[in-house]
Amino acid sequence: MILRRSRFVHQLPVSKDRTLIVHAISHMRLPADRDISALVEYFAEPRRIPEDCDAMTALLPNTGDPPAMLRDAVERSVMELLSREILTEKTPEEELAAVGAKLASSHGRDPAEIIDRYRRDLKEGAEPYWAVGASYGLDDFSEARKRVDIILFGDCDIQMEADFLRREAARRNVDLRVSATFPDDIRFASEHKHDAVLIGALRARHLVAEDLANGFNPHAAYIAHATELLTKLRELTSAPILIDNLPEPTVQPLGLAERGVKGHRTRFRLTNVALAELRERLF
């Protein structure tokens, strides 16, 4: 098999030993350490796999792994880079023709819309405005792990949680592919491959601590938002849906957080109880 770096891939050094790999068509962004960046750079010229794997191991002299293990890690990393379209079997002309063919099949529809849909299909990770992911290295690709694709719905907190989930899953020998978006983007569940859905804290959580003069429970707005979101998601997907509890206030001194039935801590506890009841009712 002959592989080369995609003509659409750019490597942007962002700090010492850290490179951002960007695919111009899919908008895939992969933060990579020095080893992965060196592998991608090596494929600036066409290379044969597995014949050239020994030469690639020479690019990584400081890993400390036995040669056989290092070669295996390199081969797996190359296959992962191929699956993410960072590497390709196509020539530059064939790549360009393949992209043109996808746009030509739109039969007059806006080509920009087709590209946006293609990018959403391949999306991985959080919104870059909210979160920075750890660099990928050989260890992230060097083991055969069970792949699980999940979608995260939530605001800024879930965006920052995405990379932590990926790394914790890797510790448990799971290749977790996380795609995060916001609660308003419900149609993403019908467009993106997934095995499960995780919902983080919703925007209405800020209303839980406010005083309501209309007689409603403090968590009424939050539960209404969660009910609407869960109902719409279930119409689009049969995958398991998980929803995060709200963290209880831990500010010291507690003050209002501990003041009776209307205290903040009690309000958030009751919200979590209502979420559990909602789950039983809907599922």
CA angle 243, 248, 251 (to 5 degrees): 145
CA distance 37 to 48: 18
Q: What is the pLDDT of residues 103-150, one digit of tens each?
A: 776 655 677 777 777 777 777 766 665 556 778 888 888 677 888 999
Going along the chain from its start, the domains and CATH numbers come out as 2-105 (3.90.930.60), 145-282 (3.40.50.1110)
Residue 183, pLDDT above cutoff 70:
yes
Q: What pLDDT score was predicted for residue 15?
A: 84
Confidence of residue 29 (pLDDT cuts 50, 70, 90): confident
Q: What pLDDT score was predicted for residue 28?
A: 84
The Cα-based distances of 242 to 59, 105, 106, 239, 270 in angstroms read 43, 37, 36, 10, 18
> pLDDT: is 67 or 184 the higher one?
184
Q: Report whether 246 contacts 270 (CB < 8 A).
A: no
Strands (DSSP E) contained in the chain are 2-5, 9-15, 18-23, 29-33, 47-48, 87-88, 146-153, 174-181, 196-199, 241-243
Q: What pLDDT score was predicted for residue 256?
A: 55
Q: What pLDDT score was predicted for residue 128?
A: 61
Q: What pLDDT score was predicted for residue 136?
A: 86
38 is written with which tokens? 């060196």
Percent of the chain whose predicted confidence (pLDDT) is above 70: 87
Low-confidence winner among 13-22, 191-200, 214-223 (lowest mean pLDDT): 214-223
| Rounded average pLDDT over 32-52 | 92
Query: Chain-wide mean pLDDT for the chain?
Result: 84
Confidence of residue 54 (pLDDT cuts 50, 70, 90): confident
Q: What is the pLDDT of residues 62-99, one digit of tens each?
A: 666 777 888 888 888 999 899 889 999 999 999 999 88
Closest CA relative to residue 283, chosen from 234, 224, 220 = 234
Q: What pLDDT score was predicted for residue 82?
A: 93
Closest CA relative to residue 166, chosen from 30, 283, 59, 42 = 30
Q: What pLDDT score was predicted for residue 40?
A: 94
Closest CA relative to residue 166, chosen from 189, 186, 137, 190 = 137
> pLDDT: is 114 or 181 the higher one?
181
3-class state of residue 93 by DSSP: helix
Cβ neighbours of 183 (radius 10 Å): 21
Residue 130 identity: W
Q: What pLDDT score was predicted for residue 37?
A: 92
